[in-house]
Amino acid sequence: MGLTGGIGAGKSTVSKLLAERGAAIVDADQIARDLQAPGSPVLDQMAERFGAHIINDDGSLDRGAVASIVFSDKAALKDLNGIVHPAMHTEIQSQIDAHLGTDRLVVLDFPLLGENPRKGLAATIVVDIPYDLAVVRAVDRGMDEADVRNRIDSQISRDKRLESATHVVDNSGGLDDLNRQVAELWPQLMELDQYAPPSAL
């Protein structure tokens, strides 16, 4: 199943609560970071396309440098996606396939699931909170306020994201309330039909 939410909504927190109950988490952000680790083929291709200056002295990716290139250049963004997406797709699929034939619940923790819907999901959980609360929580976590607002504004709207939901977690309350909602959700998720690979649809 899919798990998504805007920045600061509490997606990572819900993901942890699901993992504690036994779900396997396929974490798109983590996969992207791993694929762009120092010395990786993906990072090499990115440096070839955008220049060696996108790599820090320690060999790591300078995310800000890449972000500023692709922010205003659609062709550059397309090239970046062309380098990163196939590798991500392969890794995501192999992490999903590792659980095929088991009764393990596999959760695709995808921040951009609303923008990039995926076929074959047994459910889509959207973690939802009001805009202002998302900003407060993301800033509390250490992000810059203007940056958070920019990022939220560049993602699909809260309403649009909610349209894709089969299950909504309302994270406008405290952590106890969130925990209670996940506890209620869990048995419902366990009863869902099995994942149908897109090829079988």
What are the residues binding ligand ADP (CB under 6 A)?
5, 7-13, 137-138, 140-141, 171, 174-175, 178
* Identity of the residue, 29 or 97, whose beta carbon is nearer to ligand ADP in the bound complex: 29
Cβ neighbours of 121 (radius 10 Å): 21
Q: Are 105 and 2 in contact (CB under 8 A)?
A: no
Q: Cβ 29 to ligand ADP, closest distance in Å?
A: 9
Q: Cβ 19 to ligand ADP, closest distance in Å?
A: 12
Rounded-to-integer distance, Cα 135 and Cα 132, Å: 5
* Identity of the residue, 124 or 171, whose beta carbon is nearer to ligand ADP in the bound complex: 171
Sheet holding 167-170, edge to edge: 24-27, 106-109, 2-5, 124-128, 167-170
- The residue type at 64: G
Q: Cβ 129 to ligand ADP, closest distance in Å?
A: 8
* Identity of the residue, 36 or 128, whose beta carbon is nearer to ligand ADP in the bound complex: 128
* Identity of the residue, 4 or 36, whose beta carbon is nearer to ligand ADP in the bound complex: 4
- The residue type at 200: A
